[in-house]
């Protein structure tokens, strides 16, 4: 037995004991519980959107849906402003993410170079903006002066340069092996060539992370629509749904004050503020949930293993 164990050890064969199986089982159970805890809120919201609205309002839907129907989604998705508002939200999400990536990647690369002229001064000048905010009125006046107030660019340009994103990209670029750029520099590659052909492809994980952060922020934002636009053609999906939620609250109060109106409505499909909240949550979250898996693979670490030999 000892000789066989010795041979297995020399061959690199690892013998799994019952303790290892126990530890693996405990890890699987713990992570299973964590996964269920993360997924349950989405499941709970979804079953409340397709269940009998009268049961949802009284809090009787817990784990299993009852009286399944899709009237909530039909009524929310039948809003006249919804298609164009969805297009505005999609356009600001895509363009805003692209501009954010461009304005985070190249300046961060410049700040990561030691030969950059007065690098520390300019870098600190950018970072200091994280700690100060002029307020809504000065920002409003600035947008008005720049001519982006009540235009589509009010969604894009103010979010282009984010100091936090710049810090993340700069730190990641500085962790890349310098020998890659040095070899390209010896071959005659300039800064732009080295950035596009070496640094940018190796920075996919951090760029994907920033893309997800930016896309989620752009998709969920609606306060800039409230503060900096007045054109109805610039209303985003979140703002339209927010306005619809306020109108639903008002209609619910009117219905409660008029028994005749309540009698004519079907309580199982009658919209309530609570069911509208749940439905709006699913409508706004679902696009991001569908996009996220395409970026997830870039979060895997270890892309640089074996990139530099010896």
| 115: nearest Cα among 165, 44, 190, 183 | 190
pLDDT in tens, 64-121: 888 888 888 887 788 788 888 889 999 999 999 999 999 888 888 888 887 778 888 8
Report the C-alpha gap between 111 and 209 in whole angstroms. Answer: 20
Lowest mean per-residue pLDDT among 128-132, 189-193, 220-224, 264-268: 264-268
Task: Check residue 30 and report its DSSP letter.
Answer: H
Domain range annotation of the chain: 2-79+236-298, 82-233
82-233 has which CATH code? Answer: 1.10.3720.10
Res 262: pLDDT: 44
Res 307: pLDDT: 42
Average pLDDT estimate for 39-65: 86
Query: Is the CA virtual torsion 21, 24, 26, 29 positive or negative?
Result: negative
Of the pLDDT bands very low, low, confident and very high (cuts 50, 70, 90), residue 58 is confident
> Is residue 142 scored above 50 in pLDDT?
yes
Return phi, psi of residue 26, to 5°.
-65, -40
For 104-127, give the DSSP string: HHHHHHHHH-TTSTTHHHHHHHHH
Res 32: pLDDT: 94
| 180: nearest Cα among 199, 166, 163, 167 | 199
Average pLDDT estimate for 7-31: 75
Tell how far CA 218 is from the center of its chain.
Answer: 8
What residue has token string 């629509």? 225
Lowest mean per-residue pLDDT among 11-25, 227-241, 276-290, 295-309: 295-309
| 265: nearest Cα among 254, 274, 276 | 254
| 59: nearest Cα among 73, 48, 43 | 48
Of the pLDDT bands very low, low, confident and very high (cuts 50, 70, 90), residue 152 is very high
Lowest mean per-residue pLDDT among 9-13, 18-22, 25-29, 95-99: 9-13
Q: Are 169 and 103 in contact (CB under 8 A)?
A: no
Res 309: pLDDT: 42
Is 0.85 topped by the overall pTM?
Answer: no
Two tokens, residue 153? 């660019």
Q: Is 116 exposed, middle or buried (CB count within 10 Å of its CB: 0-12, 13-18, 19+)?
A: middle
Of the pLDDT bands very low, low, confident and very high (cuts 50, 70, 90), residue 270 is low
What residue has token string 């100091």? 163
Q: What share of the chain is helix, strand, coil (3-state, %, to 5)?
A: 75, 0, 25
Query: Is the CA virtual torsion 84, 89, 92, 93 positive or negative?
Result: negative
Query: Which residues, in sequence order, are CB contacts of 274 under 8 Å at separation 6+?
Result: 48, 56, 57
């Amino acid at each position: 037995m000892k000789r066989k164990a010795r041979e297995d050890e020399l061959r690199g064969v690892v013998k799994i004991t019952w303790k290892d199986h126990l530890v693996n089982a405990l890890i699987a159970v713990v992570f299973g519980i964590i996964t269920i805890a993360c997924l349950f809120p989405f499941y709970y919201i979804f079953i409340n959107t397709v269940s009998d609205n009268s049961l949802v309002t009284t809090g009787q839907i817990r784990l299993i849906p009852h009286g399944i129907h899709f009237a909530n989604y039909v009524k929310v998705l039948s809003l006249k402003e919804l298609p164009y508002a969805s297009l505005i939200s999609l356009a600001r999400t895509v363009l805003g993410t692209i501009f954010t990536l461009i304005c985070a990647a190249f300046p961060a690369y410049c700040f990561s170079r030691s030969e950059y002229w007065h690098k520390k001064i300019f870098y600190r000048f950018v970072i200091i903006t994280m700690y100060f905010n002029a307020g809504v009125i000065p920002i409003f006046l600035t947008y008005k002066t720049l001519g982006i107030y009540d235009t589509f660019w009010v969604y894009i340009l103010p979010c282009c340069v984010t100091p936090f994103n710049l810090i993340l990209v700069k730190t990641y670029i500085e962790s890349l092996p310098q020998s890659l750029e040095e070899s390209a520099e010896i071959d005659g590659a300039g800064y732009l060539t080295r950035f596009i052909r070496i640094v940018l492809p190796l920075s996919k994980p951090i760029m994907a992370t920033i893309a997800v952060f930016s896309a989620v922020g752009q998709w969920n934002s609606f306060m800039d629509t409230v503060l900096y636009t007045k054109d109805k053609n610039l209303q985003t999906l979140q703002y339209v749904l927010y306005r619809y939620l306020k109108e639903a609250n008002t209609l619910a109060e009117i219905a409660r004050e008029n028994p005749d109106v309540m009698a004519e409505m079907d309580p199982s499909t009658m919209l309530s503020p609570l069911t509208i909240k749940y439905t709006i949550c699913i409508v706004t979250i679902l696009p991001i949930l569908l996009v996220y898996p395409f970026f997830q693979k870039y979060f895997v670490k270890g892309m640089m293993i074996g990139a530099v030999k010896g």
